[in-house]
């Protein structure tokens, strides 16, 4: 790393037999009292922090969906990981941030110990939730979203 946040490179998700989503904007995340976009995923697991610090965290989202959405995660060198998450009725931005953090945490637990060729490693001693910042969630199919994540090591908060 060069000291600057860098985007976690992912394979762009494309849904088979479904047209790409072009008419829905990404869902941005930002902490209050800063002009820097994003929220550290470790903070997104803290409901009190979300309620007090996520800009628009209490805002109810208008997500066209079924009862569940898939969070699609596929850093370079890894297979697609796309757990389905049930959205609570009247899902807020804070609840969505927490769902993404849980999905990424499940991904990290699933791939800990793997050493992909040309990719980043995850788990103890490597990238963990504390090192990842959720900038936005991009709709990639009617019920699937792919997070845009920055790598920002803990020491660079």
pLDDT tens-place string over residues 35-62: 889 999 999 999 999 989 999 999 998 8
Q: Which long-range contacts (CB under 8 A, 24 or more apart) does 106-113 make?
A: 106/81, 107/73, 107/81, 110/81, 111/78, 111/81
Which residues lie closer than 8 Å to 138 by C-beta, 6 or more apart? 26, 145, 146, 147, 148
What pLDDT sits at residue 117?
83
Name, in order, each residue with C-beta under 8 angstroms of 110's C-beta and a sequence gap of 6 or more. 81
- Percent of the chain scoring above 90 in pLDDT: 59
pLDDT, residue 41, reads: 97
pLDDT at 3: 55
pTM of the model: 0.90
Q: Are 103 and 83 in contact (CB under 8 A)?
A: yes
Cβ–Cβ < 8 Å for 10, 146: yes
24 pLDDT band, cuts 50/70/90, is confident
Checking if the pLDDT of 64 tops 70, the result is no
Residue 1 in this model has a pLDDT that exceeds 50: no
């Amino acid at each position: 790393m060069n000291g600057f946040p860098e985007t976690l490179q992912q394979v762009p998700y494309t849904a088979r037999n479904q047209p790409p989503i072009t008419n829905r904007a990404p869902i941005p995340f930002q902490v209050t009292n800063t002009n820097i976009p994003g929220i550290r995923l470790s903070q997104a697991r803290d409901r009190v922090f979300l309620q007090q610090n996520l800009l628009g965290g209490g805002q109810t989202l208008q997500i066209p969906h079924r009862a569940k959405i898939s969070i699609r995660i596929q850093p370079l060198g890894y297979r697609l990981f796309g757990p389905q998450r049930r959205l609570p009725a009247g899902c807020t931005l804070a609840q969505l941030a927490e769902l993404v953090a849980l999905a990424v945490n499940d991904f990290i637990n699933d791939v800990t110990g793997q050493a992909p060729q040309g990719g980043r490693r995850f788990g103890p001693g490597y990238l963990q939730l504390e090192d990842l910042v959720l900038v936005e969630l991009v709709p990639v199919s009617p019920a699937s979203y792919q997070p845009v994540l920055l790598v920002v090591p803990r020491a660079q908060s």
